[in-house]
Structure 1
């Protein structure tokens, strides 16, 4: 008699639970080391694991899904059943508006139809010049760096914010960059604290945290509203992304109203700079620890570009540098953990998931799953040759999400990252000073300490 194995053998079974405290479950473990807790859950219990969070009466069960097949089910094949309705997305929605990242149903479909024509490959390729100019500004700053040591985390955050602000706001980028740099950390910390807390006071209560977040939001909204009003008045003929968003129309002539336009701007600022900055910083840091791979990437850049400014067409001419970037995004995905809410009861990898359950996907864990990645903690750009990619399940690597809600800006992120890396590596040798960097999982992957690298001008 044949014995059934795998998902079919356990169909409808309750998922195993990670051991936690009697009072708070795994809440303290997640606060102390969320990434390590998720890794430990998979190592001990497999690809679908329940994690209990919070005290009795307020406890939540998170159904953590770690397999590529499970991720594909949640994000693609059964995406209608797994929605962005959990408390964390609601907090983002409250602080940053109901833009493309957080909208649902008819709102999302309408916004996507309006925005999609602005993110075609041809349109996005037109931003290559702005990215190159902002990277040239970073290089000029590095030439003045004291002791030839820079914190690549801070440097790449500044570069990515400058680039996305310039593309969004054009000539008004300077007016927004300082405000975003100052206000975003206050708001994102507030969102994180509330999103992961089992009980929150109303936002209208005059607590110190509420007041700080409200003041930061008021300043951020104010500068966005002022620039939007100027665009609406037609006083600026610029072709920046904000102008294009303001003019976007559906076939029936419907467009964004002023509040919706601000929501899109805030979401693009949120999603468009921290994620790319994270990928750039960790790529540089990894190359600073792996000089042979760095030398190979630089050789390709110099051979392809010479001394000219990189263009969008160069992405296809820099395959090794692209593999380096993808491998860095595997090891350090900018969105290491994110969640969905199950609408109806179902099964994932053969385990029962009840209606209303919080479902957690963790690229941080799936990108290290030994079923898909041999020696998963090793930095190896060779994992991303076309042949190697074709041999793996589609969702073994998903730094941009997937399915109908895949990140609309993924081509822009890759374009910006490859152009910036090419210019930085052509000009400087990188050596990691802080070889070990503590990490945490916030709205994006975060370095909890400096990521200092010594930079030396390349001699050619």
Structure 2
């Protein structure tokens, strides 16, 4: 094979094998396709070169040294066993810090350890289960709104992000959530799209240049910051006015997540400052609603496309709940619905890629990674890998029975990351999603509208275009629906 139009041949050279990858015209083709359809590029790279692949270029205005990791063993090494060597020092995380601050997603070292120590008690299973009632209320509100859907048809790419954002704002801000939703709904997508584009573009203009795009992003960021700072100030003032004695005596304590964050303290009364509180809120908004929305939209779409699975899920919901609103205590009993959600997140990964930068030379899945290289762990490829997932294009919730999960490597499925930096909100996301699915299946039967979408071939939910489902209201309304309508 020609070295100008092929691959770097793998071979031993010191510890680990040299990482293969395209060169010459194949590299140019890969780089051109990377921006238009990274999923297609990465899956072809895995098929042609294996489980660790290098995309390297040193061209005028572009230097690229990207190492793609597709295997479960490689993901485990980068995210867990060698995590100290793979840091969030790359361009993407720097751009996220500039937009949303230095919260749990982006902080490192002592700052991260301190934040995690203060915030972890707010995300224990017992504490998260306390948010179930708020999630159920939002799910029932969504089901009621769907009763007036034009032509009894909904677009899941619009409905599920809106639901996830409302639910998250309600849990974060409590009584302030209605005002917060309007601002977040208007500003967060602008700033997120801007941030992702800057993180994925080799050459960008300075943020302070007054281009129209820079100015729109700056205005969105300013409005989000002002919202958070105002609510934090009002909440802190309210707590001070009530006083610690009133709170300890059973006064009106804040029981939303922001109130708990303000009250969180560690050794020597260490607590989060105003800027840190804002950074955590913004990171929760960024990381906490889009991922949940993707899982929900894909689960509903796949159930609509597979009526036998939908019937089985609905039978479980009816049997377990007998018409009442689901709660945290029902999660374990809704086992099949949980498997549906996990399979949906395998097929359309909410977090397709996780990026890091190597601090020192390392060996990942038997291949040599040089210090300074950008490394991307590609869950969206791993979760289609035929070594772990026979017939990976097929929708099959039985892949996630306890027996099946025990037979697979831990990092064959990792939509919530892994290692010490695994998503702190994993249980909350799963709980919120299963409860929402249960409420919607109590109320409706779903059928797909339009052509089948190419599952798993896009990075974000909205890239699929509209995902529409037709709703048929069930004749026997559950008891929770009757109570909601009456109240």
The yes-or-no answer on 1:274 pairing with 2:290 is yes
CA–CA distance in 2 between the matches of 1:23 and 1:287? 39
The yes-or-no answer on 1:201 pairing with 2:205 is yes
| Map of 2:134 onto structure 1 | 130
CA–CA distance in 1 between the matches of 2:23 and 2:388? 26
242-251 or 231-240, which moves further after superposition?
A: 231-240
| Map of 2:277 onto structure 1 | 261
| Map of 2:450 onto structure 1 | 434
CA–CA distance in 2 between the matches of 1:146 and 1:20? 53
- Decide which of 65, 69, 76 is 1:65's aligned counterpart: 69
- Decide which of 429, 442, 464 is 1:448's aligned counterpart: 464
* CA drift at 1:189: 1.2
State the SS of the aligned residue for 1:239. Answer: coil
CA–CA distance in 2 between the matches of 1:361 and 1:56? 27
CA–CA distance in 1 between the matches of 2:211 and 2:96? 19
Q: Does the C-alpha gap of structure 1 residues 296 and 343 become closer, same or farther in structure 2, counting only changes over 3 Å?
A: same
State the SS of the aligned residue for 1:301. Answer: helix
Indicate the RMSD between aligned Cα atoms, in angstroms: 1.9
* CA drift at 1:206: 1.0
1:114 and 1:255 in contact (8 A); partners too: yes
1:10 and 1:351 in contact (8 A); partners too: no
CA–CA distance in 2 between the matches of 1:306 and 1:71? 42
Q: Deviation string for 1:251-273 (max 9, x for gaps)? A: 22111111111000000111111
* CA drift at 1:440: 6.8
| Map of 2:166 onto structure 1 | 162
How many residue pairs match? The answer is: 454
* CA drift at 1:55: 3.4
423-432 or 108-117, which moves further after superposition?
A: 423-432
2:157 and 2:465 in contact (8 A); partners too: no
| Map of 1:142 onto structure 2 | 146
- Decide which of 100, 108, 113 is 2:112's aligned counterpart: 108
2:156 and 2:297 in contact (8 A); partners too: yes
State the SS of the aligned residue for 2:387. Answer: coil
* CA drift at 1:337: 1.2
1:20 and 1:52 in contact (8 A); partners too: no
Q: Does the C-alpha gap of structure 1 residues 214 and 397 become closer, same or farther in structure 2, counting only changes over 3 Å?
A: same
CA–CA distance in 2 between the matches of 1:54 and 1:10? 24
Q: Highest Rg: 1 or 2?
A: 2
Q: Does the C-alpha gap of structure 1 residues 287 and 119 become closer, same or farther in structure 2, counting only changes over 3 Å?
A: same
Q: Deviation string for 1:360-379 (max 9, x for gaps)? A: 11111000000001001100
| Map of 2:321 onto structure 1 | 305
Matches within 5 A, 1:402-421: 402-421=418-437
Q: Does the C-alpha gap of structure 1 residues 274 and 338 become closer, same or farther in structure 2, counting only changes over 3 Å?
A: same
CA–CA distance in 2 between the matches of 1:34 and 1:411? 29
CA–CA distance in 1 between the matches of 2:106 and 2:461? 19
- Decide which of 352, 356, 359 is 1:340's aligned counterpart: 356
The yes-or-no answer on 1:251 pairing with 2:267 is yes
The yes-or-no answer on 1:210 pairing with 2:226 is no
CA–CA distance in 2 between the matches of 1:268 and 1:315? 23
Q: Deviation string for 1:59-100 (max 9, x for gaps)? A: 212100000000000000000001111101111111011000
CA–CA distance in 2 between the matches of 1:314 and 1:55? 56
* CA drift at 1:20: 6.2
* CA drift at 1:459: 3.2
| Map of 1:3 onto structure 2 | none
375-384 or 190-199, which moves further after superposition?
A: 190-199
* CA drift at 1:9: 10
2:122 and 2:260 in contact (8 A); partners too: yes
CA–CA distance in 2 between the matches of 1:22 and 1:73? 29
| Map of 1:232 onto structure 2 | 236
Q: Does the C-alpha gap of structure 1 residues 332 and 141 become closer, same or farther in structure 2, counting only changes over 3 Å?
A: same
Structure 1 gap ranges (5+): 1-5
Q: Does the C-alpha gap of structure 1 residues 290 and 22 become closer, same or farther in structure 2, counting only changes over 3 Å?
A: closer
